[in-house]
Structure 1
Amino acid sequence: MLLVGSFLLLFIGLIHSYLGEKYILIRLFKRNNLPKLLGSDWFTKRVLRFAWHLTTIAWWGFSAILYFLSNPSGNIHSEILVTITIVFALSGVISLVFSHGKHLSWLFFFGIACTSMFDVVYS
């Protein structure tokens, strides 16, 4: 059953990003009354876009964790921590790139990725 959940998370993540971009974000960004953060609505749009898609990345990470739990190996602790490392490293890259470093979440995402990887390497 966990494999079904894993597949559903992959699928819903894909649908979430595609349909959200097509039917919500693009339409929302056409409005002229978005809040102007840091002087313009550019930053607002970028943050909304990367936050929307970070949800998909998180769901895909949960999908991987469900997969590992459905097929446990002797090293499941490391597999889950590597998954967490990848999810948060990707989240950090997306946050850094989309906001040009102005949204400081990337610092925390990279911190989480590093501590997770540290535990894998030194455990």
Structure 2
Amino acid sequence: MLIIAAALTVLVGLFHSIAGEIRLVRPLLARPDLPSLGHGPWYVRALIRTAWHITTLVWLGIAAMLVVIHRASLADHAPLLWIISAVFAVSGLAALIFSRAKHPAWLAFLPVSAFTGWEAWLMAA
């Protein structure tokens, strides 16, 4: 289950970076009316692009953690899995509710939450 959760997390990250860059980040950064935040438009453009892709980097890190935990299969890792499960549950519910199910992230986040929660429950039992 953790390998499936890790694979879903990697797929979400890749889709997020590629589709988000094309469909959201580039059009947003092309706007002439971006605020300067006191540093100039270059700063805002760098900030938006960096923040967008750091999210993907975090998801890839979580996917790697899931693989490591799967290989270790130690009950000591159950609390980490509960945390990951909770984060993905809240993220999935937020994507589902706030986008009115139009943003597809919930389709991956909620299964990742379920898989990691199930594994945490099995490890703790």
Equivalent residue number for residue 56 of structure 2: 56
Identical counterparts, % of pairs: 36
Question: Aligned AA for 2:49?
Answer: R
Equivalent residue number for residue 18 of structure 2: 18
Q: Output the aligned Cα RMSD.
A: 2.0
Shift of 1:29: 1.0
Indicate the SS of the match to 1:71: helix
TM-score, reference length from structure 2: 0.56
Shift of 1:37: 2.2
Question: Aligned AA for 2:2?
Answer: L
| Runs of at least 4 residues off by over 6 Å | none
Indicate the SS of the match to 2:60: helix
Indicate the SS of the match to 2:72: coil
Equivalent residue number for residue 38 of structure 1: 38
Unaligned runs of 5+ in 1: 78-123
Q: Distance in 2 between matches of 1:57 and 1:12?
A: 11
TM-score, reference length from structure 1: 0.57
Indicate the SS of the match to 2:35: coil
Q: Distance in 2 between matches of 1:39 and 1:32?
A: 15
Matches within 5 A, 1:55-94: 55-72=55-72
Equivalent residue number for residue 9 of structure 1: 9
Q: Distance in 1 between matches of 2:16 and 2:39?
A: 30
Unaligned runs of 5+ in 2: 78-125
Number of residue-to-residue matches in the alignment: 77
Cα deviation digits, residues 30-70 of structure 1 (max 9, x gap):
11111112342110010000010000000000001111111
